[in-house]
Amino acid sequence: MTAAIQNNVTRGIFLMMSAITVFTVMSAFIKAADRVPAGEAMFFRSLMAMPIVLIWLVSHGGIMAGIRTKSVRNHAVRGIVGSCAMGLGFAGLKYLPLPEVTAIRFVSPILMVVLAAIILGEKFRFVRIAAVMLGFVGVVIIVAPRLSVGLGTNEALGVGLTLGSACLAALAQVFVKGMSGSESTTAIVFWFSATATVLSLLTLPFGWVWPNGFELALLIGAGVIGGLGQILLTASYRFAEAGVLAPFTYISMLWSVLIGYFWFNEVPTMAMLIGAAFVIAAGVIIVLRERALGDDATARRKVRAKGLQ
């Protein structure tokens, strides 16, 4: 690996870790404003991110060029699914400790493998199947203590909301993956933020509250740093491949444990730590397998290219 490529990879890893850190802090802000309904929190998160996104668009060729799209329908579907995932995730934060919510969310990339096979027709190989099963074992370990106390409890509701969020987030990522060949990254980011802002207003009749000064600062902060996180995340993929960056997303587990302990007095349980280890291991297995398959495909293309010379 040349020095230039190494520097780019290092920069990509730094940007990814920064994005994940920012998103974890954003979740903490939403959790701290627990009196504010999830729909209202989603409104502030989406609306306050728009100025950051617009500035980013201006610096990347202009607003009109950045938001140009070939399929309004695809953006609408992705926006609806992603908005529901965000809303359910914010609601789940009200009932579960931050580290547990983070650990359960790790199931998203595992579910994405299953959904990509169903929707996009990608091959579902043995290694992927084994990793998916390992990940689900981890999730069962995490949620079992919460469900054992009864399905009608707040803890069980939090588990259901967070799992629903993880499933819809995986589905949204599959849609993004399918759109990536025809839609620009800037358009995907902008139209999602716009869609989530509009859809969040539909929850207005269900009991929005007037936030106090501290809550308002948290909500605005969540939106601003959420928009910043989107830009950092997108920029990271310009410098390194997804397979290289994916393992570094698990730094959110460390930040969640630290923030949960020092801000919310949440002590991680042994079941949560063990289950998270299973889920993380499953995710890493999938990432490493995808990288190996990508390397094999690249090697085959090079061989074929040489044969044509």
pTM: 0.82
Q: Among the ranges 101-105, 144-148, 180-184, 248-252, which has the highest mean pLDDT value? A: 101-105
Q: Which residues contact 135 (CB under 8 A, 6 or more apart)?
A: 106, 107, 110, 278, 279, 282, 283
Task: Give per-residue pLDDT as tens, 162-174.
Answer: 999 999 988 887 8
In this predicted structure, the answer to whether residue 276 has a pLDDT above a threshold of 90 is no
Q: How far is it, in rounded angstroms, from Cα 95 to Cα 104?
A: 13
Q: Please name the residue that has the structure tokens 């931050």.
A: 98
Q: How far is it, in rounded angstroms, from Cα 25 to Cα 43?
A: 18
Q: What is the pLDDT of residue 74?
A: 86
CB-based contact 215:35 (threshold 8 Å): yes
Task: Give per-residue pLDDT as tens, 114-170.
Answer: 777 777 676 666 776 777 788 778 888 888 887 776 666 888 899 899 999 999 988
> Is residue 45 packed enough to be buried (19+ CB in 10 Å), middle (13-18) or exposed (0-12)?
buried
Which of 99-103, 284-288, 290-294 is the least confident region? 290-294
Which of 77-81, 135-139, 213-217, 292-296 is the least confident region? 292-296
Task: Give per-residue pLDDT as tens, 219-239.
Answer: 999 999 998 988 888 778 777
Q: What is the pLDDT of residue 9?
A: 74
